[in-house]
Amino acid sequence: MTGTWQLVRLALRRDRIILPIWIVLLGLTPASTVAAYEQLYPDAASRMALSVGAGANPSIAVIYGPAYDLTTAGGFTAWRYGLFLALFAALMSIFTVTRHTRAEEDSGRLELIGSAVVGRYAALTAAVSVASAANIVIGVAAAAGLAAAGLPVAGSFLLGLGVAGAGLVFTAISAVTAQLTEYARSANGIACAVLGGAFLIRAVGDSTASLSWVSWLSPLAWPQRAKPFVDNNWLPLGLAVLAAGLVLTVAYQLVPRRDLGAGLFPARLGPAIAGKSLSSPLGLAWRLQRGALIGWTIGAVIVAAVFGSIANGISDLVGSSEQVRQIMERMGGAQSIVDSFIAAIAQMFGIVTAMYAVQAALRARSEETAVRAEPLLATSTSRAAWVGSHLAFAVLGSAVVLGFAGLAMGLAHGLRIGDLSQVGGIFAGSVAQLPAVWVAGGVAALLFGLLPQLTTIAWGAVSVFALITLFGPAVQLSQPVLDISPFTHVPKVPGSEFTATPLLWLAGIAIVLFGAGVTAFRRRDVG
């Protein structure tokens, strides 16, 4: 344990910006809800309507967790934020622990420190201490905020500390995953997979009355199962501390069983001879990009299925609040609320897929800066073939992501309402986003060809498109400004009429952007 304190100070110094951001965001958000609740639901009647409309809706429980009492601000806050705060506290814990353990070993920096007078367990202890302290500060800050906003003190602390408890469990889980593999990315990946599993387990338990007990298997459900402000059951908090302690013991048992820098799972060897597919630039691009494409597609399918399954219940939730109804209509169109909800989600898919397209296109740039493009371009691979192999993922990969997302949302919605006739329309609404996504990818391709040092501007462009599309109508921006975002021009399907003209225009612009990008790349210096 020698040296732990120095490592704690080092970690706090390195995290002096990111940890305060987490603490402020997670610690202060819940208190702001209290006032909003009083405004949105001023009287008993509106609160009853909310309880009946949203509280009893299993499709909403999939996302927010169970609602025990929506007639008080405390019960509402526990329902609205209990799960999300736990989720983000868990993410914060995973990243913090991995950053100060496996990431340090992965980069070789820990070896430098390990050769100084530092005990074997010092790095793990320091990382766990910092993450735990951050969780407790978040919990106490959230509790103090809620109490200051006028909620009962006991419930406030039960909710705040419950969130901290979930964070502690995932601190311990990532302390274990940091021991397993050699790479920080894998350590984060395994811990996040556990987190995703925990989210899904409780989604099943919270939305299915007969399987309610299943949620007890997920640490993410515990803050809400403590029923803060309703029953104030402190047992789940004890459960969290106990679980964190047990899992942490496992992590400490694992440390002496491995060498510094090594994982418990040995690094896997690859094939000695390349497979047939690895014979062309496209074959290589597939190897490099397939992981991201598969990950994005699976993520899109899961999220789309969740939104599809709650779409039909949305009218109940919206029905209780005139404000939300107006916002929804502004986001979508003046059609039935379910249709505009689905169209709005399709637009969200478009914006998120635009990020995928930019990432896939800019892979060419990261290959170039990592000096991995030169050896390939010194073979008979032409520049157009090489950059085209990456841009193909921006073009076709985003079609895969959007197609699967549309299909999953359509099927989930169709199965929920027992009518699959709308699957085609929902699929079309999602795929209609493609030309707009291609424009975003084309901006990245053009920057890559013309201004390779400034490719990050592509992210700025996507952010601007997203902000204009998501908030532009609500803040009543003028039409010329709204028109800057390609997503403004996509017909909102289902609901509105489908028109191909704007999509053809967008596709034409995208073709010009991609073509100009490739042409510019063929004329410039590499490196």
What residues line the site for another protein (CB under 8 A)? Answer: 183, 267-275, 278-281, 283-284, 287-288, 370-372, 374-382, 523-527
CB of 359 to another protein, least distance (A): 17
For residue 509 the two structure tokens come to 């612009």
**Closer CB to another protein, residue 143 or residue 373?**
373
CB of 57 to another protein, least distance (A): 44
Percentage helix, strand, coil, to 5, in the chain? 80, 0, 20
CB of 282 to another protein, least distance (A): 11
For residue 474 the two structure tokens come to 């609500």
**Which residue type is seen at 285?**
A
DSSP code of 218?
-
**Closer CB to another protein, residue 9 or residue 109?**
109
- Tell me the backbone φ, ψ of residue 151, rounded to 5 degrees: -85, 160
Question: 187 Cβ partners below 8 Å, 6+ apart?
Answer: 98, 101, 102, 103, 174, 177, 178, 180, 181
Cα separation, 343 vs 140, whole angstroms = 40
CB of 525 to another protein, least distance (A): 5
**Closer CB to another protein, residue 256 or residue 375?**
375
CB of 283 to another protein, least distance (A): 8
Helix (H, G, I), strand (E, B) or coil at 42: coil
CB of 445 to another protein, least distance (A): 20
Question: 136 Cβ partners below 8 Å, 6+ apart?
Answer: 161, 164
CB of 363 to another protein, least distance (A): 12
**Closer CB to another protein, residue 44 or residue 269?**
269
**Closer CB to another protein, residue 69 or residue 182?**
182
DSSP code of 474?
T
- Helices 501-523, 383-392: axis angle to 10 degrees equals 140
Alpha carbons within 13 A on the beta-carbon side of 493: 22
For residue 452 the two structure tokens come to 């390779």
**Closer CB to another protein, residue 404 or residue 521?**
521
**Closer CB to another protein, residue 107 or residue 326?**
107
For residue 152 the two structure tokens come to 């009962």
